[in-house]
């Protein structure tokens, strides 16, 4: 059974603050050398999905630069491949307000996809999942929709967009939106499978009636009306949800844990990204790097602790970096102190500067700033 993939690249832009001021949430850097979209896109490719549409909204130049011809994901092909789907807008609503309206703008793509099923995915969930197993569960259940969900303790402390209670047969028996989880709730991961023709029908009907939220206006509403059966695929491996600046900050550091890296970066199902040829990182005399993820092409002359450091970062002699995310091409000047800070791309921190944030509310330095 063939599947087509749909990735929503902008749905959660407003949750990551300054990090999405000039880019989509899908193209936000993560984990030292990746962009967030790399994970869901690699999961699709590893699940033999060879046709993927990425629905955009605005600020997607960075995303297009990263994806390029999609050769890194083996999607530069004549049959199938990667499609960038520009935003749908009309006179009354301007740019789309939710997933249903976003999908309405992708109807031409969906109608021509030629697959039996469609996988719908957000781009803020970091995991390594086999969608072929999800499809197998969906077909076996006979449900209208299959929702991927997990019950990881860390994700159950905060308000969740979609919560499901599950019966003994794996079907949803209750669906709530934007609530604090109870002990028996599973949290939706923003991943759904349904028949392609059914999805097209749902989108056309929903938008015609003024509905635009997939989870609230379709999934929850139709379920409560008794018109929809929802199968729940329980995902039991590591899930990192970057749904806020605080969770993004925390989840980058979770990659320092070997067991987390082992789950997400499974060699049998690799996470692909845009290839950049860089020299190995240079460590100067007297430098120190303790419990860090450091990409290629860096120059470390100072000290770094418990930090995630992207390509081509320079940390000058005497500089001390702790609990920080430093993105590509940034430079930390001599004798500077950086702690609990997210430094975006191409930032220059001058000599002797002190930047200290809080672990639950990190300081963010915007792309290209000079301090």
Write the DSSP string, 28-45: -EETTTEETHHHHHHHHH
pTM, entire model: 0.94
pLDDT by residue (tens digit) across 124-142? 999 999 999 999 999 999 9
Mean pLDDT calculated for residue range 47-70: 93
Task: Report CA Rg, the chain.
Answer: 21
Are the CB atoms for 50 and 119 separated by under 8 Å?
A: no
59 pLDDT band (50/70/90 cuts)? confident
Residue 176 is encoded by which pair of tokens? 């709530």
Q: Is the pLDDT of residue 221 over 50?
A: yes
Per the prediction, the chain carries an average pLDDT of: 93
Q: pLDDT at position 285, please?
A: 95
pLDDT by residue (tens digit) across 236-257? 999 999 989 999 999 999 999 9
Percent of residues, the chain, with pLDDT higher than 70: 95
Domain positions in the chain are 3-264, 282-365
pLDDT by residue (tens digit) across 169-216? 999 999 999 888 888 899 999 999 999 999 999 999 999 998 989 999
Instruction: List, in sequence order, every residue forming a beta bridge with 4; answer none if it has no partner.
Output: 118
91 pLDDT band (50/70/90 cuts)? very low
Note the CATH number of domain 3-264.
3.90.550.10
Mean pLDDT calculated for residue range 329-333: 98
Are the CB atoms for 120 and 100 separated by under 8 Å?
A: no
SS3 percent helix, strand, coil of the chain, rounded to 5, is 25, 30, 45
Mean pLDDT calculated for residue range 364-368: 96
pLDDT by residue (tens digit) across 135-178? 999 999 999 999 999 986 555 555 568 999 999 999 999 999 98
Mean pLDDT calculated for residue range 88-115: 82
CATH architecture of 282-365: 3 Solenoid (2.160)
* Element holding 104 (H helix, E strand): helix 99-104
Cβ-based neighbours of 45, under 8 Å, separated by 6 or more = 52, 73, 74, 75, 272
Percent of residues, the chain, with pLDDT higher than 90: 84
Q: pLDDT at position 94, please?
A: 61
Q: pLDDT at position 166, please?
A: 96
Q: pLDDT at position 182, please?
A: 84
pLDDT by residue (tens digit) across 263-307? 999 999 999 999 888 899 999 999 999 999 999 999 999 999 999
For the chain, count helices (H), then strands (E).
Answer: 9, 28
Q: pLDDT at position 155, please?
A: 52
Tell me whether the CATH fold assigned to 3-264 matches the one assigned to 282-365.
Answer: no
């Amino acid at each position: 059974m063939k599947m087509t993939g749909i990735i929503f690249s902008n749905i959660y832009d407003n949750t990551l603050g300054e990090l999405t001021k000039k880019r989509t949430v899908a193209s936000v850097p993560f984990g030292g050398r990746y962009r967030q979209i790399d994970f869901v896109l690699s999961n699709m490719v590893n699940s033999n999905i060879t046709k993927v549409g990425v629905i955009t909204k605005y600020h997607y130049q960075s995303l297009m630069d990263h994806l390029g011809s999609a050769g890194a994901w083996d999607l530069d092909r004549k049959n199938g491949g990667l499609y960038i789907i520009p935003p749908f807008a009309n006179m009354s609503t301007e740019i789309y307000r939710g997933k249903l309206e976003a999908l309405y703008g992708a109807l031409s793509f969906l109608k021509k996809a030629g697959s039996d099923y469609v996988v719908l995915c957000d781009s803020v969930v970091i995991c390594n999942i086999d969608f072929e197993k999800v499809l197998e569960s969906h077909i076996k259940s006979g449900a209208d929709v299959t929702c991927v969900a997990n019950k990881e303790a860390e994700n159950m402390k905060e308000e969740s967009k979609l919560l499901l209670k599950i019966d003994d047969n794996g079907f949803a028996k209750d669906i709530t939106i934007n609530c604090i989880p109870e002990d028996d709730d599973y949290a939706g991961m923003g991943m759904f499978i349904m028949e392609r023709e059914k999805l097209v029908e749902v989108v056309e009907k929903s938008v015609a009636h003024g509905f635009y939220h997939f989870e609230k206006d379709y999934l929850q509403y139709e379920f409560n009306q008794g018109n929809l059966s929802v199968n729940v695929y329980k995902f039991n491996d590591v899930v990192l949800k970057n749904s806020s600046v605080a969770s993004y900050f925390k989840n980058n550091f979770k990659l320092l844990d070997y067991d987390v890296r082992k789950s997400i970066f499974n060699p049998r199902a690799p996470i692909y990204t845009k290839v950049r040829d860089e020299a190995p990182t240079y460590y100067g005399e007297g430098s120190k790097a303790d419990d860090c993820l450091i990409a290629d092409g860096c120059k470390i002359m100072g000290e770094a602790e418990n930090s995630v450091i992207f390509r081509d970062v320079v940390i000058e002699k005497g500089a001390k970096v702790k609990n920080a995310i430093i993105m590509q091409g940034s430079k930390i000047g001599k004798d500077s102190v950086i702690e609990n800070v997210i430094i975006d791309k191409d930032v220059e921190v001058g000599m002797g500067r002190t930047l200290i944030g809080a672990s639950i509310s990190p300081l963010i330095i915007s792309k290209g700033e000079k301090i």
